[in-house]
Copies of this chain bind each other. A is one copy, B any other.
Amino acid sequence: MKRIDNFKSIVDKYDIIFFDAFGVIKTYQGLVPGIGKTFQYLQEQGKEYYIVTNDASRSPAQLAEAYHKYGLTAITADRIVSSGMLTKEYLDLQVQDGIVAYLGTPESQHYIDSSGLHTLPVSAVNNSNIDKVNAMIFLDDEGFDWFGDLNKTVNLLRKRTIPVIVANTDNAYPLSVGDVSIAIGGIASMIENIVGKRFIRFGKPDSQMFMFAYDLIREYRPVSKKQIVMVGDTLQTDILGGNKFGLDTVLVLTGNTLPKDVETRITATGIMPTYICDSAVVDLGGFGF
């Protein structure tokens, strides 16, 4: 485990960089200051990069658009690998027909829509269509009535033995400097405990997420795991997952892990990044910034 002063030296060592989104490129306040320079340098050096994110609330196109609004045009839809895309692949392979019920916003529905199945918010499931529900997806914590629809979901899953997919494994996400929001992953765990059935989770630290990104690259070029580094702000997802998949990892301190807690947390969890770096910002020196 090495402390690195300038993220540039990491970029110089690898051919492909995987970035977590929240806490690495952006925070609740907007872009991480200076992060634009990193992507400029990546492009100048001909390095490849992917955003590997547990966000299934919107489509890659919509996620990319949000970066463009902030002026970060280097992140295009084809650079984004989200846990929602694994959900879509699963449905394509394993659910042939019928209704897919979901909890989430209309935007999150994108992932299941495109599979050619009939999609329905949980609120629209009733006695006349419940027998056709062949899968249930937890997509996002917004877009539904918690009291009514969570209770409805419990009873749906007691009555139907169907695959249940959790498209975002996070328990909570930051909302402002002091506040967090309960994420759909936390809600799904509560319902899993109540109904006692096993759900399928897509998203870091699960290796299937990294494999998906890895396969995207292999489609157009040969690659080895040694050429890739995963950059994240969270030990339990980005670092543990990347490391288990066999990638080198960089922990940055612009998100979930505070500089004062780094050592304690690494020792306590036993999860060790290859490198620790203050941020993912490339410093090119010169007269300014």
Q: Which residues of A contact B (CB under 8 A)?
A: 89-90, 93-94, 145-147, 150-151, 154-155, 157-159, 161-164, 171-172, 178-182, 186-187, 189-191, 193-200, 206-208, 211, 225-226, 236, 240, 243-248, 264, 266-272
Contact = CB atoms under 8 A, between A and B. Distances in A.
Contacts of A164: 270
A193 to B, nearest CB: 6
A227 B191 CA distance: 34
Contacts of A94: 243, 246, 248
Q: Which of A90, A198, A267 has the most CB of B within 10 A?
A: A198
A246 B150 contact: no
A226 B93 contact: yes
Given A93-B226, A163-B243, A207-B206, A179 B155 contact: yes
Given A146-B147, A155-B178, A161-B272, A244 B90 contact: yes
Contact of A208 (B161, B172, B186, B245): B245
Contacts of A226: 93
Contacts of A270: 157, 161-164, 195, 197-199
- Tell me how many chains of this kind the complex includes: 4
A45 B247 CA distance: 39
Contact of A194 (B158, B163, B186, B264): B186
Given A161-B270, A246-B90, A172 B150 contact: no
Contacts of A211: 207-208, 211
A10 B12 CA distance: 50
A94 B248 CA distance: 7
Contacts of A191: 182
B266 A161 contact: yes
Contacts of A155: 178-180
Given A186-B193, A197-B271, 4 more contacts: A154-B172, A161-B272, A163-B243, A196-B269
A112 to B, nearest CB: 15
Contacts of A206: 207
A289 B194 CA distance: 38
Nearest to A152: B179
28 contacts: A89-B246, A90-B244, A94-B248, A145-B147, A146-B147, A154-B180, A155-B179, A155-B180, A158-B178, A159-B178, A163-B272, A171-B193, A180-B194, A182-B191, A182-B194, A189-B190, A189-B193, A190-B190, A196-B269, A197-B268, A198-B240, A198-B269, A198-B270, A198-B271, A199-B270, A206-B207, A207-B211, A208-B244
Contact of A93 (B172, B246, B264): B246
A93 B207 contact: no
Contacts of A268: 196-197
Contacts of A199: 270
